[in-house]
C-alpha cells in the first residue's frame, strides 16, 4: 500500500473534512476522494462516513487510523535516521516506550535526569499497552520499555531482560466535589453504588478482582478511549475510576484521588533486549528506578523495608 494514501486518510480523519485535507496536502478534493475510495477498495470496508459537517472515520476506519498513524510515525523516523547518517550524525537515537500512566509520570522525569547527566541525546517516546510495548522491544522498534504486569500479565521471553522497579498501588480518581474527596483510605464497599469508567481491559480486571475480594461488584457503565478520556469523565462528574498511583503526580487540577484499603497493585518493570542494548539504556534504567522511588519510596525495589524489595509472580504466573 502507498503510504502517501495512508497519510491522506489520517489527515482527513484529523481535519474531519475532505476539502480541508485537500488544502493542507495541496491536492484537489477529487484527488483526495479517489485516494480514500481506492484505500477502501483495497481493504474491502468503508473507512469514512459523511455527516452534516464533513466526514468521520467508521469503526473500521478508526482502527485503521490508529495503526496507520503509528506506521507513518515510524516511517518518518526511518527517513530521519537515514538522513542523519547521510549528514554525519550517526549516533543511534534512544527509542523509549511506556504505558500511558508511566509516560505521563516517571518516564519524562527519568529522561530529564538522563539528559542532565549525559548531555544532548536524540530520543523518542512511544506510549502503548504493555503487550504492545513488549512486542516492539522484541521487534527492535524500542530500546527500552516501561511496562506493568497488570492482567493479562507479562510473557516470559528469553530475548528480553526484565528489571523490577517496584509495586504501584492503584488509587481511585474522583471529581473535586465528590463526598469521598479528602477522606482517608476507603473500603471498596463504600464505593459499591458508584458508576465507574475504564479505558482498558487490564485496569478493568484489577477493579473487578478487587471488588470481588471486598464482596461487592463494580458497575463499569462507561468506557473511555484512553486515559485522557477516562479522566475527563471523572472530572465532569460522570464516573469515578481506578488509576495507577504513579499518575497522581501528573493529574489534571480538577481531579483528586483517594486511597483504597488493601489496594490492588501492579508490578512496574523495564524490559530491554538482551542483544545489542542501547548505550544509554543502563543509565536510563537507574534513572527510572530513582524516579519510581521518588513516587513510591516504600514500594520501590531494593528499598529497606519496602514491599517492592522482593520479586513477585506476574499475573500470568511466571516468576519475575
94-167+266-309 and 169-265: identical CATH topology = yes
What separation in angstroms does the CA of 206 have from each of 28, 118, 295? Answer: 50, 38, 21
* pLDDT tens string 211-240: 999 999 999 999 998 889 999 999 999 999
pLDDT bracket for residue 313 (50, 70, 90): very low
Is residue 175 within 8 Å of 202, Cβ to Cβ? Answer: no
Query: Which residue, chain included where needed, has cell 508511566?
Result: 102
pLDDT of 174 higher than 90: yes
pLDDT given for residue 303 in this prediction: 55
φ, ψ of residue 312 in degrees (nearest 5): -140, 155
Mean pLDDT of 191-197: 94
Q: pTM, whole model, 2 decimals?
A: 0.67
The more confident residue out of 88 and 55 is 55
Assign a CATH topology to domain 169-265.
D-Maltodextrin-Binding Protein; domain 2 (3.40.190)
- Give the 3-state secondary structure of the chain: CCHHHHHHHHHHHHHCCHHHHHHHHCCCHHHHHHHHHHHHHHHCCCCEEEECCEEEECHHHHHHHHHHHHHHHHHHHHHHHHHHHHCCCCCCCEEEEECHHHHCCHHHHHHHHHHHHHCCCCEEEEECCHHHHHHHHHCCCCCEEEEECCCCCCCCCCCEEEEEEEEEEEEEEEECCCCCCCCCCECHHHHCCCEEEECCHHHHHHHHHHHHHCCCCCEEEEECCCHHHHHHHHHCCCCEEEEEHHHHHHCCCCEEEECECCCCEEEEEEEEECCCCCCCHHHHHHHHHHHHHHHCCCCECCCCCCHHHCCCECCCCCEC
Q: What is the tens place of the pLDDT at every residue in 93-119?
A: 899 999 999 999 899 999 999 999 888
Grade residue 78 by pLDDT with cuts at 50, 70 and 90. Answer: confident
CA distance 73 to 35: 20
What homologous superfamily is domain 94-167+266-309 in, according to CATH?
Answer: Periplasmic binding protein-like II (3.40.190.10)
β-pairing, 144-148 vs 265-273, is: antiparallel
Residue 220 to residues 204, 216, 300: CA-CA distances in angstroms?
Answer: 8, 13, 31
Spatial distance between the Cα atoms of 315 and 89, rounded to a whole number of angstroms: 43
* CA dist., res. 42 & res. 1, Å (int): 9
Q: List the domain boundaries for the chain.
A: 3-86, 94-167+266-309, 169-265
- State the Cα–Cα distance between residues 186 and 145, nearest whole angstrom: 33
- What confidence score (pLDDT) does residue 76 get? 82
- The grid coordinates of residue 255 equal 481531579
Considering the four listed CATH numbers 1.10.1280.10, 3.40.50.300, 1.10.10.10, 3.40.50.720, the one that applies to the domain covering 3-86 is: 1.10.10.10
> Could you tell me which of 111, 97, 159 has the C-alpha nearest to residue 286?
111
Q: Which cell is 194 given?
A: 458508584
Q: Give me 258's grid cell.
A: 483517594
Mean pLDDT of 163-187: 92
pLDDT band (50, 70, 90) for residue 86: confident
Owner of C-alpha cell 498501588: 169
Amino acid at each position: 500500500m502507498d503510504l502517501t494514501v495512508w497519510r491522506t486518510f489520517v489527515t482527513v480523519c484529523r481535519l474531519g473534512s475532505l476539502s480541508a485535507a485537500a488544502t493542507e496536502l495541496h491536492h484537489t478534493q477529487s484527488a483526495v476522494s479517489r485516494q480514500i475510495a481506492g484505500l477502501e477498495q483495497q481493504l474491502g470496508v468503508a473507512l469514512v462516513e459523511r455527516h452534516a459537517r464533513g466526514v468521520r472515520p467508521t469503526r473500521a476506519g478508526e482502527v485503521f487510523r490508529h495503526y496507520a498513524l503509528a506506521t507513518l510515525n515510524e516511517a518518518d523516523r526511518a527517513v530521519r535516521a537515514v538522513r542523519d547518517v547521510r549528514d554525519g550524525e550517526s549516533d543511534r537515537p534512544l527509542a523509549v516506550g511506556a504505558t500511558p500512566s508511566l509516560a505521563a509520570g516517571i518516564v519524562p522525569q527519568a529522561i530529564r535526569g538522563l539528559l542532565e547527566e549525559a548531555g544532548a541525546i536524540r530520543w523518542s517516546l512511544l506510549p502503548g499497552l504493555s503487550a504492545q510495548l513488549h512486542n516492539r522491544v522484541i521487534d527492535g522498534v524500542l530500546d527500552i520499555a516501561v511496562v506493568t504486569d497488570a492482567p493479562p500479565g507479562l510473557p516470559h521471553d528469553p530475548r528480553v531482560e526484565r528489571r523490577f522497579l517496584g509495586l504501584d498501588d492503584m488509587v481511585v480518581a474522583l471529581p473535586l466535589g465528590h463526598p469521598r474527596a479528602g477522606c482517608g483510605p476507603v473500603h471498596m464497599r463504600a464505593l459499591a453504588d458508584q458508576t465507574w469508567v475504564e479505558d482498558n481491559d487490564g485496569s478493568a480486571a484489577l477493579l473487578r478482582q478487587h471488588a470481588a475480594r471486598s464482596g461487592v461488584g463494580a458497575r463499569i457503565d462507561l468506557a473511555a478511549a484512553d486515559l485522557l478520556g477516562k479522566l475527563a469523565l471523572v472530572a465532569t462528574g460522570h464516573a469515578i475510576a481506578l488509576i495507577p498511583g504513579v499518575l497522581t503526580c501528573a493529574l489534571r487540577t480538577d481531579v483528586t484521588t483517594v486511597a483504597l484499603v488493601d489496594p490492588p497493585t501492579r508490578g512496574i518493570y523495564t524490559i530491554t533486549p538482551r542483544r545489542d542494548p542501547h548505550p544509554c539504556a543502563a543509565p536510563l534504567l537507574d534513572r527510572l528506578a530513582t524516579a519510581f522511588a521518588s513516587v513510591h519510596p516504600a514500594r520501590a525495589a531494593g528499598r529497606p523495608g519496602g514491599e517492592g524489595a522482593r520479586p513477585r509472580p506476574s499475573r500470568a504466573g511466571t516468576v519475575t
